[in-house]
DNA sequence: GCTGGACCCTCCCCCGGGGGGAGGGTGCAC
DNA sequence: GTGCACCCTCCCCCCGGGGGAGGGTCCAGC
C-alpha cells in the first residue's frame, strides 16, 4: 500500500478541482470539513467519500449559489428535499435572464443615434380618494408584489373608474427599497384585505407616455427627467405611473401604454 | 427660474436611479465625472446632458460589465464602434449561459441517487512522438484555444494514427490556468506554425470512458479519482484525455466518447 | 441676519468569494 | 539527516458597492 485512503488537502484539491485555499475556506465556513484534522499540526485530511460533496459544491458555486445556501442544500439529508432546493435555483436564473434581456433592450434604445422627440404634457391632477394597496417593497421583488397587489385590487374594486396607477417612492430606485402604492380609482373605495381607501394629494405633473413593455422604461424616465430639469421646474414627491393599456388589457406588449407623471412644483404659463 | 440646469448629486441621483454613493464612486473611477466641481466645498454638480451617459452605465452594470470595460465603451466617441463594443457582450452572456447549462446538467447527474458503476482499466501507454500544440491557457479560454489548436493540428497532420488527445496540467483546474497540450499521433510529426513534434513519456494510466457531452465530465473525473484513491495507487503527472468519438466525428453529442487517463505510479497484478 | 434641517463632503469599515504572499512548521524519500 | 514539497495561519488585495461617523454647506423661513 502506498497510501491509505486518506487524502492531504493537495491531493483532494487535485481530485475535486477545487483550489487548496478554497477548500480551507469551505472548512472554515463549515461547508465541507475534512474527515479528520491532526490536532498537533492542523493538517486537514479528507477521504474519497467526500469527493461527491465537493463536486456538488463546485457546481452550485458555478451557478453562483451563495455559500450559506449551498450549506442549506448539503445539510438537507433527504435527496428529494435536496433536489427540491436545487430546483429552486433555475427560477432565480430565469429571472436573472429576464433582467439581462431587459437591460439589453434598454441599451439598444439608449445607443440608438436619433432619439425620437418626447411629448410632455403638464397636467394638474386633483386630489382623489382611491382604493389602494401599499407596502415597503424591494426592487427585485417589485414585479411579484405588484402582480399580487393588482390582483387583490381587481377582486375588491367593483366599479373602477379609469386606469390603475402607481406611486413610487424615489428611495426604491436609489436604495433598492421603498414605499410603493398601487391604486385603482373608484367611486366608493372598499376596505378588504390589504385594500383600503387612500386620498392621493393633488399634484402638478409633467406627464409623458411610454409605449411598449417596461424593459426600457428607465430611458423614458431619464428623458422626462431631463425635460423637467431643462424646463426649470422643481421636483417634489413620488413619481406616478398610470396604465391606460397594460397586461390586463392585451397580451401584445407593444400596445401597452404607461403614463409617467413627474411631480413638478410650480406650473404656470410663465 | 427656480433652478439653473445644474444638478446637485442628489437630484442627479433621482433622475438616473443611481445611488449617490455610486455616483461618487463613478466619479472617483473616472467613469462619469460631474460637469463641474466646486473647488471650495467639493460639491459635485451635474447637468441634464449627462443623464444618458449615466443610464448607459446603469444598463451596462446590470449586464455585469466591469467598470473598466464600461469606461472603454464610454470613451469610444464613435457611436458605431461603441455599438460594436456593446455587441461584444451578448457573446459573453452566451458563454455564461453555456456554463450555467453545463453546471445544471452536471448537478443533475451528481444528485442522481444511483450512480452507475465505473469501468476502469489499467493501461500501460508507451512513449510516443506525436504532433502537438501546447500553451499556457486559462480555464475560461480553454474551449476557444482548444478549437483553434485542434484545427491547426488537423491542417498540419496528413496521416493521423488513432484518436487525438490532450494532456492537462492539474494547475489548470486548481488555479484556473495551466499548461495544456493537444496532440495527434502520426508517423512523422510535422513542424508547422504552432504544431511541433513532442515526445510524450510512457505512463501507466487508470482509464475510464466518459460518454456524452462534457457538461458533466467533472463527475467522471471525480469518480475515477475516487477509484484511483480506493485502489491505493499513487498519482503523478498530468491527466490525459483521448477522444475516440468527438465533435469532429459526429454532431450527436450523446455518441461522444472521451477516455480519461489518470496517471498511476505503480501498476501490477498484485 | 440667523437658524434649522436637508443636503453634501471625506474617510473608514463591512460584505462575499476568492487570490497572492509572508513566515514558519511537517512528512517523507533518499 | 537533509532537502524539498507540502501544509499551516495570518494579513492584505480585488470588485462594486453599502453603512455610518463626523463635519461642512446651502437655502427657505422667520
Q: Which nucleotide is nearest to A68 (CA to C1')?
A: C16
Q: Is the pLDDT of residue B269 over 50?
A: no
Is the Cβ pair A59, B222 closer than 8 Å?
no
**How many structural domains comprise chain B?**
2
Same-domain status, B135 and B61: no
State the Cα–Cα distance between residues B223 and B19, nearest whole angstrom. 49
Tell me which residue of A190, A191, A141, A219 sits closest to B54, measured CA to CA.
A219
Domain end point (choices A75, A102, A133):
A75
Residue A22 beta carbon within 7 A of nucleic strand C? yes
The predicted model gives B82-95 an average pLDDT of 76
Sorted by sequence, the CB contacts under 8 Å of residue B155 that are 6+ apart come out as none
Give me the total of CB pairs closer than 8 Å, taking one residue from chain A and one from chain B.
Answer: 162
State the Cα–Cα distance between residues B121 and B206, nearest whole angstrom. 6
Domain end point (choices A20, A50, A75):
A75
Is the Cβ pair B15, A222 closer than 8 Å?
yes
CA distance B105 to chain A (A): 9
Same-domain status, B125 and B247: yes
Q: Is the pLDDT of residue B183 over 70?
A: yes
CA distance A230 to chain B (A): 6
The predicted model gives A182-209 an average pLDDT of 94
Residue B41 beta carbon within 7 A of nucleic strand C? yes
Cell 441621483: give the residue.
B13
- The pLDDT value given to residue B268: 46
Q: What percent of chain B has pLDDT over 90?
A: 54
Same-domain status, B133 and B197: yes
- The pLDDT value given to residue A101: 83
Q: What domain range includes position B37?
A: 7-75
Determine the Cα angle at A260 with ends A255 and A262, to 5°.
Answer: 170
Q: Is residue A83 in some structural domain? A: no
The predicted model gives B40-46 an average pLDDT of 94
Same-domain status, A128 and A236: yes
Chain B residues within an 8 Å CB radius of A17: 173-174, 218, 221
Q: Is the pLDDT of residue A248 over 90?
A: no
> Greater confidence, A89 or B238?
B238
Name the residue of chain B whose CA is nearest to A16's CA.
B222
Mean pLDDT of chain B: 87
- The pLDDT value given to residue A229: 83
CA distance B192 to chain A (A): 34
Is the Cβ pair B221, A5 closer than 8 Å?
no
The predicted model gives B211-227 an average pLDDT of 90
The predicted model gives B256-266 an average pLDDT of 87
Q: Is the pLDDT of residue B205 over 50?
A: yes
Q: What percent of chain A has pLDDT over 70?
A: 95
- The pLDDT value given to residue A4: 46
- The pLDDT value given to residue B270: 36
Chain A residues within an 8 Å CB radius of B114: none
B176: left (phi over 0), alpha (psi -120 to 50) or beta: left
CATH code assigned at A55: 1.10.1660.10
Q: Is the pLDDT of residue A3 over 50?
A: no
Q: Is the pLDDT of residue A268 over 60?
A: no
Task: Please tell me which residue lies nearest to nucleotide C24, judged from CA to C1'.
Answer: A41
Closest Cβ–Cβ partner in A14, A59, A100 for B63 = A100
Same-domain status, B146 and B21: no
Instruction: Quickly give A167 CA vs C11 C1' distance in Å.
Output: 36
Same-domain status, A28 and A160: no
Determine the Cα angle at B194 with ends B192 and B200, to 5°.
Answer: 95
Residue B198 beta carbon within 7 A of nucleic strand C? no
- The pLDDT value given to residue B234: 65
State the Cα–Cα distance between residues A145 and B255, nearest whole angstrom. 47
Name the residue of chain B whose CA is nearest to A10's CA.
B174
- The pLDDT value given to residue B103: 86
* pLDDT interval class at A232 (50, 70, 90): low
- The pLDDT value given to residue B267: 43
Same-domain status, A214 and A153: yes
Q: Is the pLDDT of residue A158 over 70?
A: yes
Cell 391632477: give the residue.
A125
CATH code assigned at A244: 3.20.80.10
* pLDDT interval class at A2 (50, 70, 90): very low
The predicted model gives A41-47 an average pLDDT of 94
Interface test with B, best of A56, A173, A215, A235 (most B CBs within 10 A): A173
Residue A175 beta carbon within 7 A of nucleic strand D? yes
Give the pLDDT confidence of B99-152 residue by residue, as tens digits. Answer: 888 888 888 888 877 778 899 999 999 999 999 999 988 887 888 899 999 999
Same-domain status, A142 and A36: no
Q: Is residue A114 in some structural domain? A: no
Q: In DSSP terms, which residues pair with A200 in a beta bridge?
A: A128
Q: Is residue B188 in some structural domain? A: yes
Same-domain status, B134 and B68: no
State the Cα–Cα distance between residues B262 and B270, nearest whole angstrom. 19
- The pLDDT value given to residue B243: 96
Same-domain status, B58 and B162: no
Instruction: Quickly give A10 CA vs D6 C1' distance in Å.
Output: 8
The predicted model gives B10-19 an average pLDDT of 92
Same-domain status, A67 and A152: no
Q: Is residue B219 in some structural domain? A: yes
Q: Is residue A107 in some structural domain? A: no
Domain end point (choices B75, B103, B129):
B75
Chain B residues within an 8 Å CB radius of A113: 79
Q: Is the pLDDT of residue B64 over 80?
A: yes
> Greater confidence, A237 or A32?
A32
- The pLDDT value given to residue A151: 94
Q: Is residue B144 in some structural domain? A: yes
Closest Cβ–Cβ partner in A48, A107, A170 for B86 = A107
Give the pLDDT confidence of A169-180 residue by residue, as tens digits. Answer: 888 887 778 889
Residues of A (33-52) placing their beta carbon closer than 7 angstroms to any atom of strand D are 41-44
- The pLDDT value given to residue B266: 55
The predicted model gives A74-103 an average pLDDT of 79
Q: Is residue B221 in some structural domain? A: yes
Q: Is the pLDDT of residue A13 over 60?
A: yes
**From edge to edge, which strands make up the β-sheet containing A44-46?**
A7-8, A44-46, A36-37
Q: Is residue B100 in some structural domain? A: no
Pick from A9-23, A114-128, B22-36, B77-91: least confident: B77-91
Is the Cβ pair B17, A173 closer than 8 Å?
yes
Same-domain status, B250 and B156: yes
Is the Cβ pair A14, B173 closer than 8 Å?
yes
The predicted model gives A92-106 an average pLDDT of 82
> Greater confidence, B206 or B266?
B206
Alpha-carbon Rg for chain B in angstroms:
27
Q: What percent of chain A has pLDDT over 90?
A: 52
Sorted by sequence, the CB contacts under 8 Å of residue A141 that are 6+ apart come out as none
State the Cα–Cα distance between residues B47 and B43, nearest whole angstrom. 13
Is the Cβ pair B226, A48 closer than 8 Å?
yes
CA distance B255 to chain A (A): 24
**Grid coordinates representing B258?**
472521451
Amino acid at each position: 500500500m502506498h497510501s491509505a485512503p486518506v487524502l492531504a488537502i493537495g491531493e483532494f484539491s487535485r481530485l475535486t478541482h477545487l483550489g487548496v485555499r478554497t477548500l480551507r475556506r469551505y472548512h472554515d465556513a463549515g461547508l465541507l470539513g475534512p474527515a479528520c484534522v491532526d490536532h498537533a499540526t492542523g493538517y486537514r485530511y479528507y477521504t474519497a467519500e467526500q469527493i461527491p460533496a465537493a463536486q456538488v459544491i463546485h457546481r452550485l458555486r458555478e451557478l453562483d449559489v451563495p455559500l450559506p445556501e449551498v450549506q442549506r442544500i448539503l445539510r438537507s439529508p433527504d435527496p428529494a428535499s435536496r433536489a427540491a432546493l436545487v430546483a429552486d435555483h433555475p427560477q432565480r436564473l430565469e429571472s436573472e435572464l429576464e433582467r439581462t434581456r431587459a437591460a439589453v433592450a434598454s441599451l439598444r434604445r439608449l445607443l440608438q443615434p436619433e432619439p425620437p422627440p418626447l411629448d410632455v404634457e403638464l397636467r394638474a391632477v386633483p386630489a382623489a380618494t382611491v382604493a389602494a394597496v401599499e407596502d415597503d417593497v424591494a426592487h427585485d421583488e417589485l414585479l411579484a408584489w405588484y402582480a399580487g397587489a393588482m390582483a387583490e385590487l381587481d377582486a375588491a374594486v367593483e366599479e373602477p373608474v379609469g386606469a390603475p396607477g402607481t406611486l413610487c417612492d424615489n428611495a426604491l430606485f436609489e436604495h433598492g427599497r421603498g414605499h410603493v402604492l398601487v391604486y385603482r380609482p373608484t367611486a366608493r373605495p372598499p376596505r378588504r384585505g390589504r385594500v383600503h381607501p387612500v386620498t392621493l394629494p393633488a399634484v402638478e405633473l409633467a406627464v409623458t407616455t411610454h409605449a411598449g413593455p417596461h424593459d426600457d422604461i428607465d430611458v423614458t424616465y431619464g428623458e422626462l427627467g431631463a425635460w423637467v430639469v431643462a424646463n426649470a421646474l422643481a421636483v417634489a414627491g413620488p413619481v406616478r405611473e398610470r396604465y391606460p393599456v397594460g397586461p390586463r388589457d392585451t397580451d401584445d406588449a407593444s400596445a401597452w401604454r404607461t403614463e409617467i407623471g413627474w411631480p413638478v412644483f410650480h406650473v404656470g404659463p410663465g
